[in-house]
Copies of this chain bind each other. A is one copy, B any other.
Amino acid sequence: MARPTPQTHGDILAAAARRFAVTGYRGTSLQEIASEVGCSKAAVLYHFANKEAILTELMAPAIAVLQSLDDRIAAQPDPASAQRVAAEGFVDLAVRFRREIALLRGEFPELLQQPVFAHIHEISERLIDAMAGRSERASARICALVLLAGIAETCGQFGDVTDEELRDALLALLRRALEPVG
């Protein structure tokens, strides 16, 4: 039990990511994380205020990128370019952060209630609106939502596919599947 450099914080984060990916956020107890790290549950709660704080730190980079994508979309002058930026930006984000997104798989509805994800709901509504080409038609909205949810739900499952291959496949899918603007 020699005292190494206090890298425990990072160890906990890594262990939590591994466990969350297998059993989900709610399905993973603090005790499991502690066991994987090789420390006590109390040690985990010494480094993180509570369980949610672990998730917050894990998701922070992805959320920051999502926020900036939201800004970029809002700055587009017309529906067509907004649709293009939204599609390309979302695919890029999904591919880059597919591990982080996979952590949330199957727990979106409830995790979205948590403070960390306070604004995600509005952001995803704007994303869908942009991908639907700002159209009010039900078919366009359905199409955008199905594709967005499908990508978010599955992007973490293609561990055997390279980033480039996945990005190309998803972009090609969006290009032929999204309803054209107008």
Chain A residues engaging chain B, CB cutoff 8 angstroms: 23-24, 26-27, 105-110, 138-139, 142-143, 145-151, 153-154, 157-158, 161, 165-166, 168-170, 172-173, 176-177
Contact = CB atoms under 8 A, between A and B. Distances in A.
Contact of A168 (B139, B149, B168, B177): B139
Given A158-B142, A169-B142, A110 B27 contact: yes
Contact of A150 (B105, B107, B149): B149
- For this chain, the copies found in one complex come to 2
Contacts of A168: 139
Given A149-B154, A153-B153, A139 B106 contact: no
Contacts of A143: 169, 173
B173 A176 contact: no
Contacts of A161: 138, 142
B150 A165 contact: no
A31 B158 CA distance: 39
25 contacts: A26-B26, A106-B106, A106-B108, A138-B161, A138-B165, A139-B165, A139-B168, A139-B173, A142-B154, A142-B158, A142-B161, A142-B166, A142-B173, A145-B150, A145-B154, A145-B157, A146-B147, A146-B150, A146-B151, A147-B177, A149-B149, A149-B153, A176-B176, A176-B177, A177-B177
B106 A172 contact: no
Contacts of A151: 146, 150
